[in-house]
Amino acid sequence: MVLGFALAGLLQVASVHLQPGVARPGDAVLVTVLGVTKLPTGTLGPDTLDFLPIADGFQALVGVSVEASLGTRTLTVELIPEGGTETTIIGSLDVVEPGWPKRELKVAKKFTNPSKNEQLRSARDTKAFSEAFDVDLEPWLFSRDFVWPRPKDITAPFGDLRLMNGKKKSQHFGTDLDGNTGDPITAANAGEVVMVRDCFASGNTVLIHHGGRLFTAYFHLSKFEVKEGDLVQPGQRIGLVGKTGRVTGPHLHFGVKLDGRWVDPSSVLGLKFFEISPALPVVTEPQAVGG
């Protein structure tokens, strides 16, 4: 669903689009502003919108926290259309029940009771992840929508609530895709490889930055086919399926991190960055806030 409000009668028509119109905790939400040349500002509930330039306007991508309360969130966008005055556009986003499944997992004792050396290794991995995610807010590095890095045969969805060995609870912040050791893994979109690393929990790991502090993550690989600093294209092979790290069998754990939050990959792959639907009127009328 795409929401927006077209401001007619100006030298150039401006419009605001929100997709989707209904989201779950953990979903990514895209706000597109068209027909303006000055940087908009805005908020979606408690989150600030950081707009990036695109061909005909600006876009902001924000992740709804997995801990977000259900209900309606207000979208507020302040913009200055060509030949017009500063205007506030107000819309809404419904946050609904995520319906996350629950499952019990049997995990090897060495992963639930890591040794001191393994704890130190895990701490170094955490530091490496933090450094890889520490980037400036850059424009998009891609020019097409995101695609799955493997056939969409999901064995564990995002948000799984997990009970490990009957005791320790955790939540799955990625999507597991089925595969056999040696099956190809491809980049979900164009971007820069910012991590190629053998990690304790995630095994052989590749992180790709796509601009806008948006990253895709690929865990448990058996082989790397890229190196840090590489610029990859959508569909380019980056590695092979494996079972390295904290896993019980071969598969690809595919994750998406957006400005410090893990979000549901399915929500990002469902967004249309370059095929914006016609704007529909927001319930609340725009209000002028100054000249």
Domain count, the chain: 2
Do 227 and 251 belong to one domain? Answer: yes
- List the structure tokens of 230: 């590489």
Asked whether 171 and 66 are in contact (CB, 8 A), the reply is yes
Residue-level pLDDT at 14: 80
Residue-level pLDDT at 248: 85
Residue 38 lies in a domain: yes
Do 89 and 147 belong to one domain? Answer: no
Identify the residue whose tokens are 């600093």.
Answer: 229
**Nearest to 91, CA basis, from 26, 2, 12, 213:** 2
For the beta sheet containing 102-105, the strands, ordered from the edge strand earlier in sequence to the opposite edge, are 102-105, 161-164, 168-171
- CA-CA distances (angstroms) from residue 270 to 45, 229, 257, 274? 22, 28, 15, 12
Residue 236 lies in a domain: yes
Residue 152 lies in a domain: yes
Do 187 and 130 belong to one domain? Answer: yes
Residue 87 lies in a domain: yes
Residue 2 lies in a domain: no
User: pLDDT tens per residue, the chain (291 residues)?
Assistant: 444 444 544 435 788 999 998 999 999 999 999 888 899 999 999 999 999 999 889 999 999 999 999 999 999 999 876 666 788 889 999 999 998 887 766 665 655 677 888 889 999 999 999 999 999 999 999 999 999 999 999 998 988 876 665 554 678 889 999 999 999 999 999 999 999 999 999 999 999 999 999 999 999 999 999 999 999 999 999 999 999 998 889 999 999 999 999 999 999 999 999 877 555 444 444 443 332
- List the structure tokens of 289: 């806030």
Residue-level pLDDT at 277: 59
Return the CATH number at 46.
2.60.40.10
Do 119 and 255 belong to one domain? Answer: yes
- The total of other beta-carbon atoms located within 10 Å of residue 228's CB is 14
Residue 75 lies in a domain: yes
Do 44 and 187 belong to one domain? Answer: no
Residue-level pLDDT at 100: 81
Do 252 and 116 belong to one domain? Answer: yes
Query: Range of 279's domain?
Result: 15-99+272-288
DSSP 286: P
Return the CATH number at 201.
2.70.70.10
Do 141 and 38 belong to one domain? Answer: no
Residue 6 lies in a domain: no
**Nearest to 32, CA basis, from 68, 2, 72:** 2
Residue-level pLDDT at 64: 96
C-alpha–C-alpha distance, residues 66 and 69, integer Å:
9
